[in-house]
Amino acid sequence: MSVQMVRLENVIKEFDDSIVVDNLSLDIRAGEFLTLLGPSGCGKTTTLRMIAGFEKPTTGKILLNGKQVDDMEPYKREVNTVFQSYSLFPHMTVFDNVAFGLKMKKVGKEEIKERVTKALKLVQLEEYGNRKPKQLSGGQQQRIAIARAIVNNPKVLLLDEPLGALDLKLRKQMQLELKHLQQTLNITFIYVTHDQEEALTMSDRIVVMNKGKIEQIGQPVEIYERPQTRFVADFIGQTNIIEGTVSEINGDLATMEFAGQTIQIPNANHVELNEEVFISVRPEKMKVSRTPFEGAINLKGTFKEKIYVGSVTKIVVTMPNGKNLTINESHDKIEDLTDTSDELFVSWKPIHSVVLKK
Amino acid sequence: MRPKTKKILFSFSLLVFLFFYIPILFVIIFSFNDSKLGTVWTGFTLEWYGSLFQNKQLISATMNSLYLAVVTTIIATILGTLAALALHRYTFIGKKSVEFLFYIPVVIPDIVVAVALLAIYGLLNMSLGLNTAVPGHVAITISYVMLVVLARLSSFDSSLEEAAKDLGANEWQTFWKVTFPLIFPGVLAGALLAFTISLDEFVISFFTLGPGDNTLPVLVYSMVRLGVSPEVNVLSTIIIAIMFIVVFFVGLRMRKGGTAK
């Protein structure tokens, strides 16, 4: 797993006067499912396009399997792309679409037939070879686009928001199928998406990008449970960001002043006395009750509203300084919390406070 | 739509069609007319069809017209398509001006092109012949080809070219396997337009052809000065028939291409 497949070294990409990718360095291992995640305009698609060869980095190096490729034409690179809009050739049959890459490589007719059939079988569309792409549904076209790419046995498969145009249910299904496909084929997948749930579901590692820079690289669980920056905490899932001043440091723990109350925080990031810090606490790590919990952080506030969203009920509690905190509770536990004047305690364990870098 | 409105619209459309096609119908009918004067129906004959094919002048003019149209179409289609591809694909300084320059020949009167060419030929001391009409024909048709191909390209998804390159096709293969087949209907439409415009062209041909070289329109013009002969009717009928067949088959092909997409 530790063989390096793709390496980006200090890659900068400028368009006109704006810097789209800003000094990005990244190592991608062989056989890894890596996701570039970020809001639109964060440079994730440009990064992918530079690996594919459709854009050349302004400065910096791109290595593919140890070979420097940043000046190599796309058709010479051992990578294949699954495009956002599928980009199937409308004038060719499904079979000819999938066979295109092999024909370009002058593979023998018999072998082409064999490999295309196998690829179509892999995406469960072996009976659709004679159709034109327009005659297929969006999900089927998506599968053909994947078959067309993987039939070439690429070293790396690049996927640019490939599920963006599908409806939610099909998207969920395709997420699992893609993940299984990746494990079966053992190809390195580089996947671009702005959908954090998709990234968490499929990836071995996630690269969270913002404004052309990497905010954090890590496994899904690290990204979600231990976000390092305010941006990552905010972008991935829902969270409560609480800002306060460090008033005491005591070994592994520190104390932070917030709205006239104190919050104990882990001192993993080595905060300093009187430093302004942000912490992130996920709504599902918090509880509400009328009485404080022992051995936990308890913040006093007033009940504002509750929103039923199906699996949980969201409770909004207003702190004395006006800041709202959102807590996820199971519906049956909070049926009696309806009086808006109620004083409530918001509680969580100190280990669930994640201290964020500025 | 209300029935009354529908009736009015129908009658109006009918009138327009009659206006278009009655003169053509007359030409066809009178190509079979026995009379030499061609204005009164005296009886059915195929005589003029026979004599047309004996008319060496007419045959050579037809060959000249076809030659000019084919040469013009080939040059204008290649150059026009290349120009459209360049304008579609690249951004460069002065692109808007270049595009604008391509629209000019569409609106400029043919007589201006004709006189300008004649002046240049005079300046270069070139003697006029059949080929001296080619630059003029190309000049007025190239814009049409470019505009039609450009229109087709605007609906062309350039990520298809990226997909082809991603799958290992070089620039050349990408063009012939992906780009060209997809813009082909536009190229064909542009070529047909160039062909018909060239075939129809009178003013430029009249000015820039050598003294002995006639094209069909130029010859017909000189013939009708002595009155419309039945042979002109026959010639027109044959041209109408050919164009009808061509348009019919192109239409059929386009339709097939349309559904296959």
* Strands A156-160, A188-193: pairing kind: parallel
Q: What is the pLDDT of residues A114-125, one digit of tens each?
A: 999 999 998 889
Q: What is the pLDDT of residues A192-222, one digit of tens each?
A: 999 999 999 999 999 999 999 999 999 999 9
Q: What is the pLDDT of residues B201-236, one digit of tens each?
A: 999 999 998 888 889 899 888 887 877 778 888 888
- To the nearest whole number, what is the mean pLDDT of chain A? 90
pLDDT average, residue stretch B179-197:
92
| CA atoms lying within 13 Å on the CB side of residue A166 | 22
Contact B157/A at CB under 8 A: yes
Q: Where are the domains of chain A?
A: 4-234, 241-356
**Correct CATH for A4-234 of 3.40.50.2020, 3.30.70.3420, 3.20.20.80, 3.40.50.300:** 3.40.50.300
Least confident residue range of A104-118, A136-150, A301-315: A301-315
CB-based burial of residue A189 (10 Å sphere; 0-12 exposed, 13-18 middle, 19+ buried)?
buried
B112-141 burial, b at 16+ Cβ within 10 Å, e below that, comes to ebbeebbeebeeeeeebebebbbbbbbbbb
Choosing among B89, B166, B178, which should be mutated to test the A contact, i.e. which has the most A CBs within 10 A? B166
Token readout for B166 is 């991603």
Nearest to B157 among A87, A104, A134 (CB): A87
- Do the domains A4-234 and A241-356 sit in the same CATH topology, yes or no? no
pLDDT at A341: 58
The pLDDT of residue A273 is above 80: yes
Contact A134/B at CB under 8 A: yes
With beta carbons less than 8 A apart as the criterion, state whether A23 and A29 touch.
no
Give SS3 for A110: helix
Q: In the CATH hierarchy, which top-level class contains the domain A241-356?
A: mainly beta
Complex-level ipTM: 0.82
Contact B42/A at CB under 8 A: no
**Interchain proximity B164–A100, CB inside 8 Å:** yes
